[in-house]
Amino acid sequence: MKKKDKNIYICQSCGYNSPKWMGKCPECENWDSFVEEMMQPKNDSGPLRGVAHVQARPVPIDSITLEDEIRTSTGINEFDRVLGGGLVSGSLVLIGGDPGIGKSTLMLQALYGLSLQNLKVLYVSGEESIRQIKLRSKRLGTIGPNILVVSEIDLDSIISMVNSEKPDVLVIDSIQTMFNSDLSSAPGSVTQVRESAMRLMIMAKKTGIPTFIVGHVTKEGAIAGPRLLEHMVDTVLYFEGDRSHVFRILRAVKNRFGSTNEIGVFEMKEKGLDEVPNPSAVFLSERPSNAPGSVVTTSMEGTRPILIEIQALASATSFGNPRRTILGLDQNKVALLVAVMEKKLGLHLMGHDIFMNVAGGVKVLEPAVDMGIVAAIASSFLDRPLPKGCIVMGEIGLTGEVRAISHIETRVSETWKMGFTRCIVPKSNVKRMTEVEGIEIIGVNTVIQAVETLF
């Protein structure tokens, strides 16, 4: 080893550097996450190697001329919605999700939609051979002459290939398999992922080629590699859903060119992912009628209201400590609302196990579903179903008050479209909204009034 070479230990979860090995990372508090890596002197060209570099000069911001940004459609409306209307030139998009959730399938279908617009697209796979990609494309029906595929992990070769082929869109699948020959660490390490993403970002900005980066996720659900990876890219998308469910949700958690609240809903079929233009109808299609513990409420995902079914089961516990099993909802929020029901409604829930689920595998964190949670638990505890055609929505505070929610008219309009005739909403919202013909709107101030109205 040369004298100027130096070994350091890097946390593979957060990228924290240490001159010596430690059992627990002081930054992210993960155990046994430090790996020894050799630090080599930086190349003069650094991450700019392979990309033409021109010295930039600062200019006054008011002298910069702007043109209307033309976005490129991927041919998948749900995907375009999450991106903010389509692809922006030179953008770097990171897509993460569990193994087998459909990330590579979505990328191939998006590239096929772009190739139909006479755009040349390049799909770089570090995990599959070109024959395997062809087999999958044949099954999905995404074969076209404008789709170029290559199996490569060397980043220098990939950048050289981009400079020679000049594709209109680039996909890297996945960033954890990319290898930078300047670094001695193995592919997938924090250093390799960070440097590879940096070089791809610089290339995308210099050439104007929209670039998709597919990333693996850890067992905690975060994208593997340093947190810096999410800061470098323009858009971060998470592909959510259980592999046992047919529905997949594409959610934006960061987007410099659009809203971060939009979601795209897909259905996994034999020939790939199909768009779901009306998620409310799909999520409510198998809802049981006149069943205690089943409540419908609304959740705003960006500009789109979605009707979801919340299910609850309250049963007497046979153990000393009652169980709380929650799927699709915030467990702390449910515990808080159960305490409010104990205090304000006098329901003895401490002696009952409570199980809750959002039908369809959806995850909902919006405060407007508080009323739905309370109504579902009360319905199961009292063994009384909600009145037919009734829907509830509203935020509940610690003192039992029902607070106003946003986009109330949009939510009620979607409720009317789905055939509901009665809507329980916060009273403060009723004062500011116009009447909707065909649906009865009832305003409540407290959780006591809401439960008395429903049961």
| Known binding positions | 97-104
Q: Which of 61, 60, 14 is nearest to 34 (CA)?
A: 14
Output helix, strand, coil percentages for the chain, rounded to the nearest 5: 30, 30, 45
* Tokens coding 8: 């350091």
Beta pairing class for 263-269 and 272-275: antiparallel
| CA distance to 59, 66, 90, 256, per residue, from 62 (Å) | 9, 10, 22, 21
CA distance 218 to 13: 9
For 360, how many CA atoms within 13 A lie in the half-sphere containing its CB?
A: 26
Dihedral sign for Cα atoms in the order 275, 423, 285, 307: positive
Query: Which residues have a Cβ under 8 Å from the Cβ of 94 and sit 6 or more positions away?
Result: 175, 213, 215, 223, 229, 230, 233, 235, 236, 237
Beta bridge partners of 236: 94, 254
User: Annotated binding site for ATP: which residue ranges?
Assistant: 97-104
Beta pairing class for 34-39 and 6-11: antiparallel
CA distance 77 to 123: 21
| CA distance to 83, 389, 393, per residue, from 313 (Å) | 38, 21, 20
Beta bridge partners of 357: 311, 327
Q: Which of 412, 415, 393, 418 is nearest to 403 (CA)?
A: 393
CA distance 355 to 323: 8
* CA 214 to chain CA mean position, Å: 13
Residue with tokens 């739905």: 372
Rounded to a whole number of angstroms, the distance between the first and last alpha carbons of the chain is 77
CA distance 38 to 317: 56
